[in-house]
Amino acid sequence: MTALDAEFDPRAAAPRKRPAPRHESETSRTQKVLTWLNAQPETFARKVHTGPMGEGGHPDIDGCQRGRAFKIEMKKPGERPTLRQMARLRRWQQAGALVGWAESIEHAAQILAHVDDLTWRNPLSGPGASA
């Protein structure tokens, strides 16, 4: 192939298409939130893994800060917990745990901002600590 042929070859002239931007996965968001949570003083958090043999609906993150249990369900932006997940969050809340769902570290921080208020109940109307 000569230089002239290469100049007019449609394969050589076609610009490369960039892949469409992907949204960050729920797994990646969960890992970032876990890293942030475990960097907080007097806090321990872990990912809850449920498999085909386990019971579903459990919140993704199980943790404790300064003696208070918290449960956080991670979601992609715009998604809501399933009915089963909401029922599980409400059950934990009735038992005294701090609960909510989050899309980001900011939402997790909003939930944990209430860790010392034992009377506060998240209305579970949106991610973070909804009013």
* pLDDT tens track, the chain, 131 positions: 565 565 666 565 556 666 655 678 888 999 999 999 999 999 999 999 877 777 788 999 999 999 999 999 999 999 999 999 999 999 999 999 999 999 999 999 999 999 999 999 999 999 998 76
Question: Which of 49, 66, 46, 67 has the alpha carbon at shortest distance from 58?
Answer: 49
Pick from 51, 94, 39: nearest CA to 71: 94
Long-range pairs for 108-114: beta carbons < 8 A, 24 or more residues apart: 108/33, 108/36, 108/37, 108/61, 108/72, 109/36, 111/70, 111/72, 112/37, 112/40, 112/43, 112/65, 112/70
Amino acid at 47: K
Cα–Cα distance measured from residue 13 to residue 49, given in angstroms and rounded to the nearest whole number: 49
Domain 22-49+57-124 of CATH type 3.40.1350.10: yes
Q: Domain residue spans in the chain?
A: 22-49+57-124
